[in-house]
Amino acid sequence: MVELLHLSFALARVTELTGLVRDQEACVLLDCVDGDVVIVAGSLMDNWEKPLGVWLDVSFGYPAPMIARDVATLSWLVELDHVVLSAEHDAEAHAQAVRALLTNDEVTFTNEVVTLTGAYNRPAPPRPLNVWSYDGRTMSDGSRTLGLVGSHATPLGTLDRFA
């Protein structure tokens, strides 16, 4: 059974992340509430001892193709296992687009949120990533669904447990 932990933290606490991540058995999904989590995770690459994940908010200014570019780059810097895309609308459609773009293949793809024709996003991540969508209630990777089973405050921020 998959269990993921969503940690919302402030950029001012970033130096304290390593200990909290190390102490968790489940994969921690980093979510920097006042900074760019991709930059934060990449900047701490020498401090990680186990795989991690990132939680990204899709927006008009940060669409699925840009997210796929950032995730592919980050995957070469850290041992990235999970990516969660949170969106007000069509979270799964955004996740489908990111999944399609995390290959070395030419992508021609259309769904509710994007039309891609002959798109490339190379190099692909060095190993497969689990791309999840979050609709405000549940997380899904297309075949599995996780729900919130607990939440508690930590010195760094809120830690939500999904299983």
Q: What is the pLDDT of residue 18?
A: 85
**pTM, 2 dp:** 0.94
Q: Give me the pLDDT at residue 6, please.
A: 97
Q: Which of 28, 2, 3, 27 is nearest to 157 (CA)?
A: 28
Please compute, for residue 130, the number of CA atoms within 13 A of its CA located in the half-sphere on the CB side: 21
> Would you state the pLDDT for residue 49?
80
User: Residue 44 belongs to what domain range?
Assistant: 4-162
Averaged pLDDT, groups of 10, the chain, 163 residues long = 94 89 91 96 85 95 96 96 96 97 94 94 94 96 96 93 97
- How far, in Å, CA of 52 to CA of 5, rounded? 10
Alpha-carbon gap, residue 152 to 20, rounded angstroms: 13
- Looking at residue 44, its pLDDT comes to 84
φ, ψ dihedrals at 77, nearest 5°? -100, -35
Secondary-structure breakdown of the chain: helix, strand, coil percentages, each rounded to the nearest 5: 30, 35, 35
When divided into structural domains, the chain yields a total of 1
Q: What is the CATH number of the domain that holds 110?
A: 3.20.20.30
